[in-house]
Amino acid sequence: MSTLNLDRAWDLHPQVSVRPEPFGALLYHFGTRKLSFLKDRRLLAVVQALATAPTARAACAASGVRDGELPRYGQALAALAQSSMVIERSPST
């Protein structure tokens, strides 16, 4: 499975809604009508931190993800990117 480039800036797609749940969260993409389940509350924290973090790696660090856990979180974020739940943020001009 591929991993996300953690050294780039990412964000939720503007058409994605996040609904926190006791198990993690539900993500719904209004454009594609896809539903994703986040079964890890720390992954939810990472996804929420993407908006303000300069990179996905920084979002992971801010959410308490340790270096040894980065490959697993990179894979989870890659799956979210593949389903268009998260998108790469373009550099500010």
Mean pLDDT of 6-21: 96
In this prediction, residue 2 carries a pLDDT of 74
Parallel, antiparallel, or unpaired for β 24-29 and 16-21?
A: antiparallel
The correct CATH number of 10-84 out of 1.10.8, 2.30.110, 3.90.930, 2.60.120 is 3.90.930
d(CA 55, CA 93): 17
Tell which wins on pLDDT, 2 or 32: 32
Q: Within a 10 A sphere around the Cβ of 45, how many other Cβ atoms?
A: 18
Distances (CA, A) of 23 to 18, 19, 20, 38, 42: 13, 11, 8, 8, 11
- pLDDT tens digits for range 47-73: 999 999 999 999 999 999 999 999 999
In this prediction, residue 1 carries a pLDDT of 60
Confidence of residue 90 (pLDDT cuts 50, 70, 90): confident
